[in-house]
Amino acid sequence: MLFPLTPSWVVVALSLYVSTSLAYVPLSSINRNSSGRYVPHEYIVEMDSVSGLAGKRAYTGRTVHDEVYHHMRKRGILFDVNNEFDTPEILVGASVKIESADDITRVTEIPGVKAVRPVLSIPRPQIFGAYTVNDPKDPRLPPNPLSTHLMTGVDKLHAQGILGEGIKIGIIDTGIDYKHPALGGAMGPGHKVIGGYDFCGDAYTGKNTAVPDNDPLDTCAGHGTHVAGIIGADPGNPFGISGAAYKASIAAYRIFGCKGSTSDDLIVQSLIRGYNDGMDILTLSLGGVDGWTEGTGSVVASRIAEQGRVVTIAAGNDGAQGSWYTSSPGNGLSVMSIGSIDNVVIPVQNVTVIGVDHMPIPYLQALPFNVTGDLPVYATSNDTVVKNDACDPLPATTPDLSGYVVVVHRGTCPFTQKLANAAKKGAKTFLIYNSDDGEFAGIEVGNYTAALISAQDGKFLVNQFAAGVPIKLNFPAVGGAHNLDDPKGGLVSAFSSYGPTYDMFFKPAFSAPGGNILSTVPVSKGSYAVQSGTSMATPFAAGAAALILQAKGKSKDLSRSLRDLFQTTAVAVSSAKPEGSLFQTVSQQGAGLMQVDRALNTKTFISPGQLMLNDTAHFEAYHTITVKNTGSESVTYSVSHVAAGTAQSMQAGSIFASTGPVELTNASARVTIIPTSLTVSPGSERRVSVYFEPPQGVDESRLPVFSGFIKIESPAETLKVTYLGASGNLKKRVVLDNTDTFFGPGASLPLMLDFLGLQVQDDAQQVNYSMTGINIPSIVYRLAFGTPEVRIDLCDKNVNLKPTIVKRSWLSWLWGDDTTDVNTIGPLQETNYVPRNSAEPEQEKNGYNTFVFNGTFANKTRVENGEYRILLRALKVTGNSKNSSDYESWLSPIFGVNYTGPF
């Protein structure tokens, strides 16, 4: 499932779920539809290019596409072609609708077919926790709008006049409001937005037919416009912001309609379009939980990067879910997956306190509230500890609140519910004060005049009110702009997703500023807003890449080496503010915060930028680093090891991943470096050998992900190579959740539900299903870890098999003792490269999976009436799909298929 990459829902979810102990999810809440990561029946069939085909058989003069279709028809396969791809170095093939899943194997056997991949569904990027500022002409600007440029050295390139001129950047998103004055005001040659394409149309929801046109204007979403401003906002705007590469040319590729999701199909189409349009850089602030490198979008994006284009893609906003959870297509092997660093400042406005001597109170809003006069304070509760403040309707004794600033405590229910309750009493102006552990970041307040203030300031106001002090507040229209130092500024944003991938690929690559970013939104949506997400970090990295391409002169080789260059020149980021804190795990920060001036100016080129040590069962202990001196003098480098914190990626005594922020320990790898000092003459290169031993004395049941840096220092500069490995054997991780942690005592997973949604405990409770309407069985399962393959098969009720997951009460029917050569009747469903589930209670947030058996095999042939079991199997990571002992398995209780309807 792919998710939007503006994360404040994560913050909201945290405030909702963290304080209370996690309640069990009631089985009755399960929505009985099979979980769908994929667009039903849609596949991308990859074909050999003509040259590949010619080797196999005489070429008939038909296109390779026609040739393949011809064979599909000949085999009686029913299909419709949606789109064709014909870019030999990236993808030759077609996205097709294939009626029967069982035909897929037959399609893969057709000569000329290289691969058939299902089309992933990708939910739209949503905007959460944004705060919009309504008046672009307002003369009062928050100072220091360029803090993100200062954090990354972009200011130094701007000072040299390097602004991205001559570089083309394709933005694949919700479109761009190119009419925005800071984005050039128009689209076409000679403008900032030189062109683009709308692949879907406003009405596209990801489930209906896309209606493309030539106009990618972003009117109804806003996400793509925010992304565009981070790259391209022209200076001289009311807020004093400017894009990282505001002289670059931009193309807008729109793949989201006004509502709903999109698909891998449109991602692939837009990537290939951008490639063929000659974009130097393609940037995608989108993606969804995956943890694998194999999705179509990931594969195509990676091939484009290998062809010498820069591809930047968001790492994801699922930091709260912990390790092994980065998004695709950012997981593509050769792309740059971008993590987020919090901005060092938070732009706010101050409200003036009248009646008592007190400092102004900052409220989280970039432009002042349009509220005049001195207003008295009204607190909806005098108790500053209460959590559910104003979650219920206010008492009848409440006065008319229209003349007050209403002060409400954060907690328990959505902000808009609190505001609506106060608004029913006439309230118009609101300040919500933070809880002690709440994050000071954008909150969702709908269209109310409401903003967040600190816990401390809120308690002060409430205590004054409760003491009967006649305190008033004034929202100055002028002079209230202020920048708070973000106490977590410069650290990795809490929402930024943790890698690595399940098979130990290095994700994210590095990080860029993405927390609290002021940029453009469509004029119809207020023109400017502050938003947070790896969605914001990703275009920053794209803009930075444009500066380097311009300054050094663009070439395929430079583009291919850019990830190494950004990684080796990035600065490692701490896990916390106090001096001496452990460095944050590389699995969340990647190689650290990018430093664009260092990437431009370094005379030392080091490759590779990242070392992947794999797990200890497949440990890659030896690595070679090449140090190249392009300067005009000999340089002596000293090489040393600096460890980062080791992430306890799994919970203690549990099969589940740790939630974020993931606990760190100081266990560290032992590293032998030869030589530790080397002199490299001008224009030449030398090698350094590095030998790793995993940390000693760690608890492998926590699957510790250890990481760090090989520091390469000269008197003039410090560079590094970043490494990452895991202590433990990935193949030993439990994949299928076999606990009752999620659904509560008695509801051990996996489980079968009857037609009322009640759990079928065992064979004694056999249910015979009529297989019509909802009178069908469903299987509910969760994945504690990713799996390369989930298979669901129908078996005879007497199948001779001992599954790996066994309930005591079922032992009576277990007489088999291994899973080799399982005699199944036929496949019901097979899914590849499935991510683990989240700790969220909802299926839409990847909390659990369901499979609904509607009475047909995967090939849609109806199953005969009879008594059966359903066999669920999941392959272990690094397991061999041919070896049945590498699967975990579960057998359902016996059930009857008692279909009586017409055939």
Ligand X SMILES: *[C@@H]1O[C@H](CO)[C@@H](O)[C@H](O)[C@H]1NC(C)=O
Active site residues: 173, 223, 535
Contact assessment for residue 593 and residue 510, using Cβ atoms and an 8 Å cutoff: yes
Peptide bond into 513 cis (omega under 30): no
Q: How far is the CB of 65 from ligand X (least distance, A)?
A: 26
For 692, residues 6+ apart whose C-beta sits below 8 A from its C-beta are: 613, 619, 620, 621, 622, 623, 669, 670, 671, 723, 725
The span from the CA of 224 to the CA of 171, in Å, is 8
Interface residues with ligand X (CB under 6 A)? 102, 134-135, 350, 359-360, 362, 370, 382, 446-447, 466, 468, 479-480, 482, 503-505, 612, 614, 618, 768, 826, 854-857, 859-861, 865-867, 878, 896, 898
| Phi, psi torsion values for 298, nearest 5 degrees | -65, -45
**What letter would DSSP give residue 517?**
E
Q: Of the two residues 166 and 826, which places its CB atom closer to ligand X in the complex?
A: 826
The span from the CA of 888 to the CA of 732, in Å, is 11
In the complex, which residue's CB is closest to ligand X? 826
Q: Of the two residues 283 and 302, which places its CB atom closer to ligand X in the complex?
A: 302
Q: Of the two residues 241 and 348, which places its CB atom closer to ligand X in the complex?
A: 348
Q: How far is the CB of 867 from ligand X (least distance, A)?
A: 5
For 314, residues 6+ apart whose C-beta sits below 8 A from its C-beta are: 5, 284, 285, 286, 287, 327, 330, 337, 338, 533, 534, 535, 537, 538
Q: Of the two residues 260 and 376, which places its CB atom closer to ligand X in the complex?
A: 376
Q: How far is the CB of 898 from ligand X (least distance, A)?
A: 4
Q: How far is the CB of 795 from ligand X (least distance, A)?
A: 12
Q: How far is the CB of 351 from ligand X (least distance, A)?
A: 9
Q: How far is the CB of 102 from ligand X (least distance, A)?
A: 6
Q: How far is the CB of 731 from ligand X (least distance, A)?
A: 9
Nearest to 819 by CA among 739, 876, 756, 896: 876
Q: Of the two residues 272 and 897, which places its CB atom closer to ligand X in the complex?
A: 897
Q: How far is the CB of 137 from ligand X (least distance, A)?
A: 8
The span from the CA of 471 to the CA of 353, in Å, is 7
**Angle at the Cα of 115 from the Cα atoms of 819 and 831, rounded to 5 degrees:** 40
Where do the H-state alpha helices sit in 57-98? 64-74
Tell me, what amino acid is at 72?
A: M
Q: Of the two residues 87 and 343, which places its CB atom closer to ligand X in the complex?
A: 343
Tokens, residue 560: 């291919």
Give 28: exposed, middle or buried? Use CB within 10 Å, 0-12, 13-18, 19+. Answer: exposed
SS3 552: helix
SS3 468: coil
Q: How far is the CB of 594 from ligand X (least distance, A)?
A: 23
Q: How far is the CB of 460 from ligand X (least distance, A)?
A: 11
Q: How far is the CB of 863 from ligand X (least distance, A)?
A: 8
Peptide bond into 123 cis (omega under 30): no
Q: Of the two residues 78 and 466, which places its CB atom closer to ligand X in the complex?
A: 466
Where do the H-state alpha helices sit in 80-178? 103-108, 147-152, 154-159
The span from the CA of 544 to the CA of 604, in Å, is 19
**Cα torsion angle, 843, 846, 851, 857, sign:** positive
Instruction: Give kind and range of the element (H or E) at residue 266.
Output: helix 264-276
Q: How far is the CB of 851 from ligand X (least distance, A)?
A: 11
Q: Of the two residues 684 and 880, which places its CB atom closer to ligand X in the complex?
A: 880
The span from the CA of 521 to the CA of 220, in Å, is 10
Q: Of the two residues 701 and 898, which places its CB atom closer to ligand X in the complex?
A: 898
Contact assessment for residue 274 and residue 172, using Cβ atoms and an 8 Å cutoff: yes
Contact assessment for residue 148 and residue 519, using Cβ atoms and an 8 Å cutoff: no
Q: Of the two residues 56 and 860, which places its CB atom closer to ligand X in the complex?
A: 860
The span from the CA of 126 to the CA of 223, in Å, is 7
Q: Show the beta-strand stretches assigned E in 437-581.
A: 449-453, 472-474, 481-485, 510-515, 517-520, 528-531
Q: How far is the CB of 480 from ligand X (least distance, A)?
A: 6
For 233, residues 6+ apart whose C-beta sits below 8 A from its C-beta are: 182, 183, 241, 242, 243, 246, 519, 520
| Phi, psi torsion values for 139, nearest 5 degrees | -80, -10
Q: Of the two residues 280 and 886, which places its CB atom closer to ligand X in the complex?
A: 886
The span from the CA of 65 to the CA of 99, in Å, is 19
3-state helix, strand, coil in the chain (%, to 5): 20, 30, 50
Q: Of the two residues 248 and 894, which places its CB atom closer to ligand X in the complex?
A: 894
Contact assessment for residue 238 and residue 528, using Cβ atoms and an 8 Å cutoff: yes
Q: Whole-angstrom distance between the N-terminal and C-terminal Cα of the chain? A: 34
Instruction: Give kind and range of the element (H or E) at residue 300.
Output: helix 296-306
**Cα torsion angle, 752, 757, 763, 767, sign:** negative
Distances (CA, A) of 832 to 140, 326, 751, 818, 823: 54, 17, 21, 24, 22
Q: Of the two residues 462 and 751, which places its CB atom closer to ligand X in the complex?
A: 462
